[in-house]
Structure 1
Amino acid sequence: MKITIEVPDDIANALQEKWPDMPRGLLESLALEGYRCGALGDGQLRRLLGFETRFEVHAFLNEHDVPLNYSMEDLEHDREVAKRLGIV
């Protein structure tokens, strides 16, 4: 889906000072808020931002002080996988 928004010039100028690549800045802000509110998961965030690995997603979230949405079920799953792989 392609989305077009209109931004008043003074606001666009203020944003452009913060984000020289304004479309990317807006996309990242949308992605962060989508993740924070639970609308987007790790995989969706990775695809939206063009990251190749979940580690890039985690670094991006860490860079923006956004905690991982990681549940006890996720932890148990990771433990089981680690056991099966002989890592633990």
Structure 2
Amino acid sequence: MQITVDIPDEIAQRLDQTWGSLSRRLLEVIIADAYRCGKVNTAEVRQILQLPSRLETHAFLKRMGVYLNYDEAELEKDLQTLKKFRVQ
């Protein structure tokens, strides 16, 4: 889906100079907020923003001031993974 946002040229140029790609910044803000509200998960954040790893995704969310949605199921999964590595 493509969305068009109308911003006066003078302001758009100033914002573009501040943040680099204004369209990328808008996408990041929307996706960070969607994650914060529980509408997308970390895998979807990574996919949409084309981030190279889970760690990069976590770093992005931290930069955006968003806490990770980490529940008991994810903790249990991580504990099982840890147990596998300890056995090896």
TM-score range, shorter chain: 0.7 to 0.9
Identity of aligned pairs, percent? Answer: 38
Quote the Cα distance in structure 1 between the aligned partners of 2:20 and 2:78: 39
- 2:74 is the counterpart of 1:86: no
Aligned residue for 2:23? 23
Tell me the CA shift for residue 15 of structure 1.
3.0
The RMSD of aligned alpha carbons is: 1.8
Q: Secondary structure at the match of 1:65?
A: coil
Deviant stretches of 4+, over 4 Å: none
| Structure 2 residue matching 1:2: 3-state secondary structure | coil
Unaligned residue ranges in structure 2 (runs of 5+): none
Deviations, residues 57-87 of structure 1 (Å, cap 9, x unaligned): 0111112221111111111111012112326
Q: Comparing both chains, which one has the higher relative contact order based on Cα–Cα distances under 8 Å and sequence gaps of 6 or more?
A: 2
Instruction: Give CA deviations for 1:8-49 in whole Å, capped at 9, x if unaligned.
Output: 345434533532310111111111111111111101100111
2:59 counterpart of 1:42: no
Identify unmatched segments of 5+ residues in structure 1: none
